[in-house]
């Protein structure tokens, strides 16, 4: 681990100001905010992350889940995954989010991991985490070792010739299906970004994973009011039953009226370079009978653009079957 300067922030404004000061004083030196530290500290130990300054935000007033004026939820960036998963309103009205959170990591990690940190969770690609290996995400221009190497866990959607790493978060997939908005505070004030626009595909700049600008801080995630009569479900397919990342996952929000699909939101995990919203699957579902044939057709549409690599072609069929099952489960509920 490289030496770094530590500061404990007492307010959002102080945290952002400290970040801006570091950027100015040290000509773009890296800063990182730390909350639970379940990803950042691991990467610092591996020298994958080498920030000049670490700003502790654990004392900021961002640890509450509040109902919004329109009936949605405002989730503070410091809300721990366990608390969010077991929040009564989340369990009752945003079931897909509770299920996704409880399928991730372990109980101990969920007690530490935060909403903001989960949004920024880095890939588990072995080439990214090993500084002796080539990785364009870690060191632009060095190459992507996974393309011609060990790529069983890698993405089949949203890839480029520069990177095929997956986004590892379960929560992000559910948040995408729920059409969350991300509230960001920076030197120039506050802004909100739809979660679908928050994450970036690698393209030719795989080192940029999201739209955050230097020094900006996530303060909240906002969920819209639950749609009347919908049911949701998260299905995670993995090598073992717990403490494992997804090979493929599906988050679905489905509304069925008299046997016909009236509302559909679909997101996939484990197969995309970002949490993968499938408008194609949603279009295939809307106005159609809620039956196995149409669920299968939606799954075919969702994976139509998938590009397999040498070891991960099985993910395409796995994701199709997983999405079909998730839709069937939500419809049956």
Q: Which residue is it, tokens 């996939």?
A: 268
Q: Kindly report, as residue ranges, where domains of CATH 3.30.43.10 are found in the chain.
A: 5-58
Instruction: Average the pLDDT over 220-235 and give the result.
Output: 97
Instruction: Average the pLDDT over 119-126 and give the result.
Output: 98
Q: In whole angstroms, what is the distance from residue 191 CA to residue 161 CA?
A: 32
Instruction: Average the pLDDT over 89-115 and give the result.
Output: 97
Residue 27 has pLDDT above 80, yes or no: no
Residues 156-174 pLDDT 10s: 999 999 999 999 999 999 9
Q: In whole angstroms, what is the distance from residue 222 CA to residue 296 CA?
A: 31
Q: Does domain 230-332 have CATH number 3.30.390.50?
A: yes
Q: Do residues 105 and 82 make contact, with C-beta atoms less than 8 angstroms apart?
A: no
Spatial CA neighbour of 216 closest among 187, 195, 182, 180: 187
Residues 270-327 pLDDT 10s: 999 999 999 999 999 999 999 999 999 999 999 999 999 999 999 999 999 999 999 9
Q: In whole angstroms, what is the distance from residue 212 CA to residue 185 CA?
A: 10
Q: pTM of whole model > 0.85?
A: yes
Instruction: Average the pLDDT over 93-103 and give the result.
Output: 98
Instruction: Average the pLDDT over 241-248 and give the result.
Output: 95
**First and final CA of the chain: distance in angstroms?**
49
pLDDT at 21: 84
Residue 28 has pLDDT above 90, yes or no: no
- Options 3.40.50.970, 3.30.930.10, 3.30.43.10, 2.30.30.790; which CATH number does 5-58 get? 3.30.43.10
Q: In whole angstroms, what is the distance from residue 282 CA to residue 64 CA?
A: 32
Side-chain-side CA neighbours of residue 218 (13 Å):
31
pLDDT at 85: 98
Q: In whole angstroms, what is the distance from residue 211 CA to residue 233 CA?
A: 28
Q: Kindly report, as residue ranges, where domains of CATH 3.30.390.50 are found in the chain.
A: 230-332
Residue 24 has pLDDT above 80, yes or no: no
Q: In whole angstroms, what is the distance from residue 62 CA to residue 58 CA?
A: 8
Q: In whole angstroms, what is the distance from residue 46 CA to residue 49 CA?
A: 7
């Amino acid at each position: 681990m490289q030496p770094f300067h530590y500061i404990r922030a007492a307010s959002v404004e102080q945290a952002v100001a400290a970040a801006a000061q570091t950027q100015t004083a040290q000509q773009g030196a890296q800063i990182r905010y730390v909350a639970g530290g379940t990803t950042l500290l691991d990467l610092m130990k591996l020298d994958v992350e080498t920030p000049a300054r670490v700003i502790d935000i654990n004392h900021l007033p961002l640890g509450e889940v509040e109902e919004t004026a329109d009936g949605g939820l405002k989730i503070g960036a410091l809300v721990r995954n366990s608390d969010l998963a077991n929040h009564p309103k989340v369990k009752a009205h945003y079931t897909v989010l509770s299920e996704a959170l409880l399928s991730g990591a372990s109980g101990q990690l969920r007690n530490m991991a935060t909403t903001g940190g989960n949004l920024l969770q880095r890939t588990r690609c072995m080439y990214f985490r090993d500084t002796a290996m080539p990785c364009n995400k870690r060191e632009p221009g060095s190459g992507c070792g996974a393309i011609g190497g060990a790529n069983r866990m890698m993405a089949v959607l949203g890839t480029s010739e520069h990177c095929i790493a997956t986004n590892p978060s379960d929560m992000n997939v559910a948040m995408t299906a729920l059409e969350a908005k991300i509230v960001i505070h920076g030197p120039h004030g506050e802004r909100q970004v739809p979660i679908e626009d928050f994450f970036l595909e690698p393209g030719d700049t795989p080192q940029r994973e999201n739209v955050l600008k230097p020094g900006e801080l996530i303060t909240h995630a906002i969920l819209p009011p639950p749609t009347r009569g919908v049911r949701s479900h998260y299905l995670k397919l993995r090598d073992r039953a717990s403490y494992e990342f997804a090979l493929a996952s599906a988050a679905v929000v489905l509304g069925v009226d008299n046997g016909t699909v009236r509302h559909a939101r679909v997101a996939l995990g484990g197969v995309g370079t970002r949490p993968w919203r499938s408008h194609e699957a949603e279009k295939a579902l809307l106005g159609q009978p809620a039956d196995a044939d149409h669920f299968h057709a939606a799954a075919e549409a969702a994976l139509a653009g998938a590009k397999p690599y040498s070891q991960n072609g099985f993910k395409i069929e796995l994701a199709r079957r997983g999405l079909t099952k998730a839709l069937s489960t939500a419809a049956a509920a």
